[in-house]
Structure 1
Amino acid sequence: MGADRDVEAAVSAVEVLREEVEHTSLPLEVPGRAAAEAARRGLLAQLDDYVLPRLRSLDAPLLGVVGGSTGAGKSTLVNSVVGEQVSRPGVLRPTTTSPVLVHHPQDRHWFEGERILPGLARVTGVDTGEEAPGTVRLVASTALPAGLALLDAPDIDSVVSANRELATQLLAAADLWLFVTTAARYADAVPWGLLRTAAERGTAVAIVLDRVAPDAVEEIRPHLAAMLRDQGLPTAPVFTVPETPLEEDGRLPAPAFARLRAWLEALAGDARARDIVVSQTLRGAVASLTGRTEELVAASREQEESRQALEDAVTDAFGSALRRVGDGMTDGTLLRGEVLARWQEFVGTGEFFRQVESTIGRWRDRIAAAVRGTPPPADSLGEALHTGVAALLVANLESADADATRTWRRLPGGAAVLAEVPARGVRAPETGAAVERLVRDWQGEVLELVRSEGQSRRTNARVAAYGVNAIGLLLMLVAFAQTGGLVGAEIGIAGGTSLLAQRVLEAIFGDQAVRDMAAKARTLLLAHAEELYAAERARFLEALAAHAAPADQAERLAATATTLRTVSV
């Protein structure tokens, strides 16, 4: 009963892991992503192909996967053990392109469904020699004892990448690896990479050393045994198949593989021996899940860190740009050049700036006269302010866009996401039109602010004396007339501008009301700018969102890994 509960707990934990792994995404092209994604796919495949099927059916036949390098003689060996040609050998490489699974007729039901290798369709009947990718051929044979099945896999070093991947997948689905190599190639790197993985995961392995010259056996076997010990496989049995001519049917003479066949028959006939092999591989596979899941956790966290860095880069770029807009509204920048020139046209010559302190009342009258008598300078001043504000917004928007783009190009994963950011730059017509509308709307809000503050009869009369448009322009000037960004003669000019405009407004509304109105005018403009910049920033963030893994992905995987540590089978 206790063992049954352990298995049930293991099945439950692995099922949760399987769901998490399936839904794990690694969308950002960060360094190491390809390897992590391959590891994720490999883990998912082994869960589907072996761990879950075996946990759910511990009494299913033992599956031995015959794998090895190109030309090692895997198919010939399988045909010889079975006693008939069930897998197609040949001189052309690769020969085994679709795997062949040989089983006793009584065991058919274990393999004809999707219990194992659910991603491969089942085919039966005579092998016509035609390629059938994505399939596994089922062959029933009484030559194999019930309780044992053999699967002839494609070459692990095939020139066809799909064959290599399938071979690796099939080996991960095995209870037992029958690894076939030759006297000439037993020390090759590719087989030992897979054997090292088998050792790390506790997989049961048997080695078939094929095509060995009789006089070389005593030299090769000790060396191979030493290599197996070095790779953590000291107990793996080694079967030697001597170099010998094939019989007329293309199979090995029975004495050449007699020891291997006897071992397989003994394994199939001894339920306890089968259980030991299955338990060894299953325990190793389940024990490896924690470490493999933690690798996926690390990859997920790297994805989240990279995504956060990209988001922060965009947020910082547009946040800095918005702060520069705020600074530009209060450091006198907007009173340079054209605005100063139009202001002089509006109120008169430069003589005003020398006399403003002592003759504020008289110059206030001149402003009123200028507004009533010569509206074009007022219009010109309004346009100059409009142009200046629009230029401030666009320049900083361009800067933010450039900063974000430049930073994304150097951050991990940024370049690929950047390629999918909608190409809607700040110079595009819709953006320019949006800025124009923004400034017009803001100027309209300033005028409405003037009207709202001039509701009393006395104040309303004063506003009417100058005109709402003129008062609105003065309010914009006061809102922008700090001098921190100006130098030399501009300071005196801007200071005079601010003083005159402010004194006129104070005479109408009072000093506190003017300060409040100026602050509100800046706040309104900054709010519009923030909305504009948010829309531009969203181009980047929306593209990033399409490449973002779920925020809690790493934590869920980590929790699953913690649960797996408590599992025993």
Structure 2
Amino acid sequence: MTDRTTQVLDTFAEHLRGIELPLPVDGADAARTEARAALSQLADHVTPRLASLDAPLLVVIGGSTGAGKSTLVNALVGEPVSRSGAIRPTTRRPVLLHHPDDEPWFTGPRILPGLARVHGGIGAPDAEAPGPQDTTGDVDPATSLELHGEERIPQGLALLDAPDIDSVATGNRELARQLLRAADLWLFVTTANRYADAVPWEVLRTAAERDVTVDVVMNRIPDRAGVAEELSTDLTAMLERQGVEVEHLFLVPETEIDAEGMLPSGVIGELAAHFTALAADGEQRRRIARRTLAGAVDGLAASAGELAAHAARQDAERRRLREEATGAFDGSRERIDAALGDGSLLRGEVLARWQDVVGTGELLRGVESLVTRARDRLGQMVSGRPAPAVAAEQALGTGLVHVVVDETAHGAERADAAWRASPAGRSLAEGRDLSRLPDGFAEQVRAAVRDWQGDVLELVRAEGADRRTKARLLSLGVNAVGVALMVVVFASTAFIPTGLEVGAGAATAVVGQRLLEAVFGDEAVRRMARTARESLTGRLDALVAGGAAPFLERLDALGGEDEAEALAGDAEALAALAREIREESR
């Protein structure tokens, strides 16, 4: 096994161990099962076989309940080494039979590293023999592999008696499939009256898809003239229709067993001779091992591709949930801009306090005379009455806080409702009321608004630093001019520029604009308004993003990003490796 091959397998194994698939997207459970199966096949078969192509060929004997697998194994050895009987399931702990000289290949974790080794012998107690509870289907799979060194097993070959693939015990079914994935050659055992059962054909189709070398035994064929030929013809036709290529088909007649449950050795003579010849032909064993290995690696490539596709679906669902959350809060942000730009914030309490500042209730009479009266009124407040400007500033701030908190809260409600409409979103929202804003959010908004208003006042002071402008500024008051700039920002065309020329809010903004121009000049006012708008916009963006944070944090905590790309790369590398293995075997 080359360094590149090792890297390909190790990288895929690392990705399989780290795969998360955290969202309950359709197919997630099946994908996680596929990942576990792929990881198992890497450890149980692919990696050890690539590292030791000359190791004994592992023949896994599988089939349906009651097909007589264990009886056949015992007949091949000539002694009752594998449990058989009428109570199901019989084979609980798998039994591996090997020649004594081949024992070092199997005592360590070279194959099936997840199963502990137990050395058996003739008459050894079956520590994991099933009891009546096995028929419930709730038993756990075996955790050990029973090894038997047998002289009757030819060197270079090992037989593994697996549990029933359709066992009533869930654990046995899972173990049977794990052992079949570890096989170099699958020997499927069926019977004359059950060879059309659905479950074996499902497994055989899997073997065909993965180009596994398969031999089939039809057991218990009625000993009547012409029956064996008729059944074998029908079975062969079924195999061809299903695309299952079988190397050998063995026919075993129905035969009486002796008191120890043993078949006469003659009835399995053809099968025994086949295994003896196979064990003696090293080149044939290597051919079978490479073919099955290439098929297994191709199967892993297919698994990697399927997992990549599911990981991509996870990513798509993650993006959809993110877009739902950010979209809800983007809507909040737009509504905040609308509330600031449509003049609604410049009505009610804010309008009353602004009228106190400019000293008139006749706001809609000629703007030019209003500006003059406002300057006169503001000039009277320089020495002792700044309270109206401060009150107007506070009213503006309170109104802005209310709009931001209210619209962001609506965004949280919309985002929560959108998430709870899908299983993936519900799984993320579970255990927390995401429809409510985080604790302390309102205070964060108040602090941000105060900071912005402070920035506006500093902007006014900085712009009025020269002597002539400073005199005009002081004649009106920094707070009053700052409020005027805030008013202009709120009604600016940077927000919603439709229909603002009518109504008290628009007129209020015009007054503020004229006051600022009287102090700083037209160009300076545009520059100040732009700077103040950008400052406000940045703070509003950050505040609304803070409302979305609980949703996005849950998405960010999922992990599992970039899995699709990594697994797609694994699929390509594994497919290339499978081609190399086939080319080397030619």
Query: If the length of structure 1 is used for normalisation, what is the TM-score?
Result: 0.89
User: 1:144 aligns to what?
Assistant: 153
Q: How does 1:210-289 map to 2 (within 5 A)?
A: 210-215=219-224, 216-289=227-300
User: 2:78 aligns to what?
Assistant: 83
User: 1:162 aligns to what?
Assistant: 171
Please, which runs of 5 or more residues in structure 1 have no aligned partner?
none
Please say if 1:556 is aligned against 2:569: yes
Partner letter of residue 505 of structure 2?
A
Distance change >3 Å, CA 360–CA 508, structure 1 → 2 = same
2:543 aligned to which of 518, 529, 532: 532
User: 2:193 aligns to what?
Assistant: 184
Which range is displaced more, 102-111 or 526-535? Answer: 526-535
Distance 2:550 2:517 in 1: 44
Please, which runs of 5 or more residues in structure 2 have no aligned partner?
130-140
Q: Secondary structure at the match of 1:429?
A: coil
CA deviation string 1:41-78 (max 9, x = no partner)? 22222222112211211111111111112222222322
Q: How does 1:26-425 map to 2 (within 5 A)?
A: 26-125=21-120, 126-130=124-128, 133-215=142-224, 216-348=227-359, 350-369=361-380, 377-409=388-420, 413-419=424-430, 423=433
Tell me the CA shift for residue 240 of structure 1.
Answer: 2.8
Partner letter of residue 278 of structure 2?
L
User: 2:458 aligns to what?
Assistant: 448
Partner letter of residue 118 of structure 1?
P
Contact 1:313 1:408 in 2 (8 A): yes
Contact 2:488 2:529 in 1 (8 A): yes
Distance change >3 Å, CA 65–CA 476, structure 1 → 2 = same
Which range is displaced more, 381-390 or 334-343? Answer: 334-343
Distance 1:225 1:378 in 2: 97
Q: Secondary structure at the match of 1:500?
A: helix
Distance change >3 Å, CA 542–CA 98, structure 1 → 2 = farther
User: 1:437 aligns to what?
Assistant: 447
Tell me the CA shift for residue 207 of structure 1.
Answer: 1.5
Please say if 1:543 is aligned against 2:541: no
Distance 1:487 1:230 in 2: 73
Please say if 1:496 is aligned against 2:507: yes
Distance 1:539 1:440 in 2: 24
Tell me the CA shift for residue 300 of structure 1.
Answer: 3.2
Contact 2:489 2:533 in 1 (8 A): yes
Distance change >3 Å, CA 205–CA 485, structure 1 → 2 = closer
Distance change >3 Å, CA 526–CA 315, structure 1 → 2 = same
Tell me the CA shift for residue 447 of structure 1.
Answer: 2.0
Distance 1:16 1:476 in 2: 59
Partner letter of residue 95 of structure 1?
T
Distance change >3 Å, CA 439–CA 222, structure 1 → 2 = same
Tell me the CA shift for residue 554 of structure 1.
Answer: 4.5
Tell me the CA shift for residue 194 of structure 1.
Answer: 0.6
CA deviation string 1:328-361 (max 9, x = no partner)? 4333232233322333344445324314332421
CA deviation string 1:425-480 (max 9, x = no partner)? 55443112211211122222222222222323443343334333222222211211
Q: Secondary structure at the match of 1:137?
A: strand
CA deviation string 1:248-284 (max 9, x = no partner)? 1122232333332232223223333323332332233
Which range is displaced more, 62-71 or 7-16? Answer: 7-16
Distance change >3 Å, CA 268–CA 197, structure 1 → 2 = same
Partner letter of residue 432 of structure 1?
A
Distance 1:36 1:273 in 2: 36
Tell me the CA shift for residue 233 of structure 1.
Answer: 2.9
Distance 1:454 1:426 in 2: 44
CA deviation string 1:164-208 (max 9, x = no partner)? 222111101111111122233211111101101111222111222
Partner letter of residue 129 of structure 1?
A
Contact 2:95 2:145 in 1 (8 A): yes
Contact 2:338 2:496 in 1 (8 A): no
Distance change >3 Å, CA 293–CA 428, structure 1 → 2 = closer
Tell me the CA shift for residue 20 of structure 1.
Answer: 4.4
Tell me the CA shift for residue 410 of structure 1.
Answer: 5.1
2:474 aligned to which of 454, 460, 464: 464
Which range is displaced more, 187-196 or 205-214? Answer: 205-214
Q: Secondary structure at the match of 1:353?
A: coil
Contact 1:17 1:560 in 2 (8 A): no
Distance 1:231 1:47 in 2: 27
Contact 1:352 1:363 in 2 (8 A): no
Tell me the CA shift for residue 553 of structure 1.
Answer: 1.9
Distance 2:379 2:435 in 1: 43
CA deviation string 1:275-309 (max 9, x = no partner)? 33323322333344444433333333333333333
Distance 1:305 1:432 in 2: 33
Distance change >3 Å, CA 286–CA 212, structure 1 → 2 = same
Tell me the CA shift for residue 515 of structure 1.
Answer: 2.2
Q: Secondary structure at the match of 2:440?
A: helix
Q: CA RMSD in A?
A: 3.1
Distance 2:499 2:527 in 1: 29
Contact 1:322 1:533 in 2 (8 A): yes
Contact 2:438 2:547 in 1 (8 A): no
Q: How many residues are aligned here?
A: 563
Which range is displaced more, 93-102 or 532-541? Answer: 532-541
1:473 aligned to which of 478, 483, 488: 483
Contact 2:63 2:164 in 1 (8 A): yes
Identical-pair percentage: 47
Partner letter of residue 195 of structure 2?
Y
Tell me the CA shift for residue 531 of structure 1.
Answer: 1.8
Query: If the length of structure 2 is used for normalisation, what is the TM-score?
Result: 0.86
Tell me the CA shift for residue 375 of structure 1.
Answer: 5.4
Distance change >3 Å, CA 55–CA 489, structure 1 → 2 = closer
Contact 1:103 1:140 in 2 (8 A): yes
Distance 1:114 1:314 in 2: 49
Distance 1:210 1:371 in 2: 110
Contact 1:289 1:564 in 2 (8 A): no
Distance 1:524 1:406 in 2: 32
Distance change >3 Å, CA 359–CA 144, structure 1 → 2 = closer
Distance 2:278 2:447 in 1: 83
